[in-house]
Amino acid sequence: MRKMNKKGKVYLVGAGPGDEGLITVKGLDVLKQADVVLYDKLANQVLISFCRKDAGKIFVGKEAGIHYVSQDETIDVLIKNANEGKTVVRLKGGDPYIFGRGSEEAIALKEAGIEFEVIPGVTAASGASAYAGIPLTHRNMVTQCVFITAHETPDKEDEQVEWEILAKMKNTTLVIYMGVSQIKNVIEKLIGFGMPSGTPAAVIENGTLNSQRSFTTTIKKLESVVWSEKIKPPSIFIIGPTAAFADEIKWFENKPLFGKRVVITRAEDQSSRMNKLLTEKGADVTSFNTISTSIAKPGRDIKKLISEKHYDWLIFTSENGARYFFELMNDEKLDARILGGIKIASIGSGTHSRLKEFNIISDFIPTEFTSESLVKELSKTENLNGKNIIRIKGDFNYDPLTENLKSNGANVDTYEVYKLFRSNPDNYEIENLKKNGADAFLFTSMSTVNNFFSIIGEEDGLSLLNNAQVVAAIGPVTAGALKEHGIEDFEISSVHTIEGMVNTLVNVFSGSIRH
């Protein structure tokens, strides 16, 4: 008897209006489990990084002049993959059922006999309004809220929006979606049907993202604000008494780095923590990855290395070193017992934290997170003469730590556990950076500096950095690399960590550090 293939299931998931943190817990859970994910530009692309590595990721949106997938084609892809027994997520900006065409997809799935589930999302009205400091309701002045689309489908014979009724409604907030190109028409109708021209109004562009822009005015002046400020989609309009609250209770746009475009140059797999810290401070972050890393295959395995002699110290100077060393240990099916009797030194809180993930507590961390400080401070408490030390590192040649340890009489064996490569951003990323520049550039190693200039070119690199408000180096070695490329105006983080760099940036932009 022929076995029937079991059909899969489709989840229509609301991704929220922009901020990736606004997706629901349930939505994120199914996204992580999906076999196939269909997404478009309205869903924050960061969310795609949560998908399984082997998941199919299908773009079904619009890219100007490049790509367009119709709604019918999107539905066909949903049904096809579900019929193949796959778990499918249709990731949609905002909420699937609020101007998101989720109902059309649900009906089609029902007719095709496909099991589906709708996971609601934060819609632009509630998300963008909250981030702009505009309550949609207020007990003393607004008791109802109406969501409206200003862009109705062209095949309708009659307009469905009752503008005359809306214009006369009291104690009401109107939220208008997809209205940038139609705002002149909307304003004329509302005022024409009797809405007072002094009614408070606001427009919010890129709501809940760190590139958000919001402007409050009156309905009479709303159109001129749209054109003078060059407002672009995605944007929503809020018309009603509570729009006037924006200046009083806005919070999102008051963050210390809000509106600052910050470029980070770390390896992609190391950028997330820095990205998160900057985003929390309000920065509009661009990741321009200049380096990538991969595990190395040392000539000796760890078990053989440690058995050759009695080692006094094992030194880690980076998160990469800690991460790849313990990956190699895992490959050899070793655990921390093999390190018994060896003291651990590490540079930086990030390295120390990464070691703790492997249940290793550093015996020594210098107060200043530099190679020079490690040797200087360790030699005050430990006679390094004759000590046997393993220095964990990458395949880079410049290694002052090893030289300083040897000059203090230590016997140092270097153990390379990872390789560094120059990343190759695509032409779009490079041209976009050259065209738009940034308010700040952050460099976390000598390699990020050298690779940045190698990728961008010396002339364009100098132009970009010299035109930025802030160029920041994590420490003196990185700063030295900037000098070698002709950059003289830069900040060195007083604490040589990712957190220290972010705090330095905040202090510069707040005026605590004169720049």
List the chain domain ranges: 9-121, 126-253, 261-290+423-510, 301-421
Summarised one tens digit per residue, pLDDT across range 206-263 is: 999 999 999 999 999 999 999 999 999 999 999 999 999 999 999 999 999 999 999 9
Task: Choose the weakest-confidence range: 60-74, 101-115, 333-347, 350-364.
Answer: 60-74
One fold for 9-121 and 301-421: no
Reading the block at residue 53, the tokens are 């590595």
Among 57, 62, 80, 168, the active-site one is 62
Reading the block at residue 299, the tokens are 């000539």
| 62 residue type, one letter | K
pLDDT at 1: 35
* CATH dotted code for 261-290+423-510: 3.40.50.10090
40 a catalytic residue: yes
**Three-class DSSP category at 6:** coil
Identify whether the C-beta of residue 38 lies closer than 8 Å to the C-beta of residue 58: yes
189 a catalytic residue: no
* CATH dotted code for 301-421: 3.40.50.10090
pLDDT at 475: 87
Among 19, 40, 284, 439, the active-site one is 40
Residue 121 has pLDDT above 80, yes or no: yes
**Three-class DSSP category at 508:** helix
In this prediction the pTM is 0.82
Summarised one tens digit per residue, pLDDT across range 264-314 is: 998 877 788 899 999 999 999 999 999 999 999 888 899 999 988 899 999
The residue ranges of DSSP E strands in 288-387, in sequence order, are 291-295, 313-316, 343-346
**Three-class DSSP category at 438:** coil
pLDDT at 157: 63
Please state which of the four CATH numbers 3.30.950.10, 3.60.21.10, 3.40.109.10, 3.40.50.620 is assigned to the domain occupying 126-253: 3.30.950.10
* CATH dotted code for 9-121: 3.40.1010.10
Q: Which helix (H) or strand (E) holds 103?
A: helix 102-111
pLDDT band at 383 (very low <50, low <70, confident <90, very high): very high
Give the N- to C-terminal CA distance of the chain in Å, as an integer. 78
